[in-house]
Amino acid sequence: MASAQGRAGSGFSLSSLFGSGKSLIGLSIGASSTKAVEIKKRGKGWIFSAFESSPVEGSLSDQREIINPSSITDAIRDVFSRARIPNKEICAAVSGSGVIIKTLTLSVTNMKELNDQVLWEAEQYIPFDINDVVVDFQVLRKLKDNQVEVIIVAVKKDFIDQYRSVIESAKLKINVFDVEVFALQNCFEMNYDPPLNQAVLLADIGAMSTKMVICSEGVPLFTKDSPYGGSLVSLEIQRELKLPSIMDAEALKISGNLPQEVSEIVSRTSHTIGAELKKSLDFYNASSVGPPVSVVFLSGGASRAPGLVQVVSEYVGTPVEFLNPFERVQVNPKKHTPEFLESIAREAVIPIGLALRSGDSK
């Protein structure tokens, strides 16, 4: 994998971007919880082994910077202990305002000079000092007339340092830092056959943000991290009902018996998310960078909002369904019941996508 600043020694890499590796631990540090998953390789398939999560409310800023490191480290230790995961080599992810993703088409006469050209181009698009970021890239495809399409990712070094510190404090070894939108695509392609000559929109709706990727036949054509998530609903519920804490609002939100005023709040936020997905889809369609989107897959804890699938479908005008991270993963029914898998499926998507990369070398 080529890296425009591999000398930074961050461990950040996009090599084997769409999933490989035989070590099977994925760690996701989210705004509301830290999640760890273990899957095991068997032949050409995968076996689900363990999943645990631990709450970390208030430990990240709105920009996904870590503001309570000890809480995150304690949560990591907790999930590994309860899941009884012996392997300490992991793939973790970064996201938020410290991550910039850009797809560019470059004219290249000498592939040996591509590294320098990417670094020069990155300086034009990255809103940070180039010395403060780690830049990596991958060639997506070669086009006509000496043109290549590359995806560039830049991550602020202090972001990586923050996440590295809390993870290593929990006595884990980071094999790879990935980006959450790529983990989302990894999990999709692990479980589904991408449609030919069509694209899919994957949207993981978390506590603070909605991560989106539009991909076609293994290529990410559009990515976005939008600041709309489930915590907006919980905060609104807490405010309007004057509840003691956001956790009380969260519990009420996911209960099966919603008061009328709560249902109205959830509905408003569902429309906000639906409108945001439509705006992203409209931008993609107007850019004419790839084939039309034929289906939308939702995941993430906040995708549990009642009626969300119907609302999103009305906005985007395509079929909408939930991404099942266990569609092609073997599960021991004596160890994990269908009810348990259903209860964790929304939150397990990104951790499973990360686990697919945890065996990659730095």
287 CB burial (10 A radius; 0-12, 13-18, 19+): exposed
Average pLDDT estimate for 44-58 = 90
Residues 201 and 215: their CA atoms lie apart, in Å, by 7
DSSP 195: P
Average pLDDT estimate for 37-44 = 88
**Other residues' Cβ atoms within 10 Å of the Cβ of residue 328:** 12
Q: Give the contacts of 73 (CB within 8 A, at least 6 positions apart).
A: 166, 167, 169, 170
345: confidence class by pLDDT, cuts 50, 70, 90: very high
Rg of the chain (C-alpha set): 20
Residues 353 and 100: their CA atoms lie apart, in Å, by 20
Q: What percent of the chain has pLDDT over 90?
A: 49
| Confidence check: pLDDT of 246 > 80 | no
pLDDT reported for residue 6: 33
Q: Which domains does the chain have, with CATH numbers?
A: 1-191+345-362 (3.30.420.40), 193-326 (3.30.420.40)
Residues in the chain: 362
111: confidence class by pLDDT, cuts 50, 70, 90: confident
pLDDT reported for residue 346: 95
Residues 21 and 292: their CA atoms lie apart, in Å, by 31
| pTM of structure | 0.88
3-state helix, strand, coil in the chain (%, to 5): 40, 30, 30
More confident residue, 221 or 24: 221
pLDDT reported for residue 19: 37
Q: Give the contacts of 110 (CB within 8 A, at least 6 positions apart).
A: none
* Backbone φ, ψ for residue 119 (5° rounding): -60, -40
Residues 185 and 199: their CA atoms lie apart, in Å, by 12
Residues 362 and 348: their CA atoms lie apart, in Å, by 24
| Confidence check: pLDDT of 283 > 90 | yes
Q: Give the contacts of 182 (CB within 8 A, at least 6 positions apart).
A: 14, 17, 18, 213, 220, 353
Average pLDDT value over all residues in the chain: 86
More confident residue, 246 or 271: 271
Q: What percent of the chain has pLDDT over 70?
A: 91
Query: Is-contact 95 61, C-beta < 8 A?
Result: no
pLDDT reported for residue 23: 54
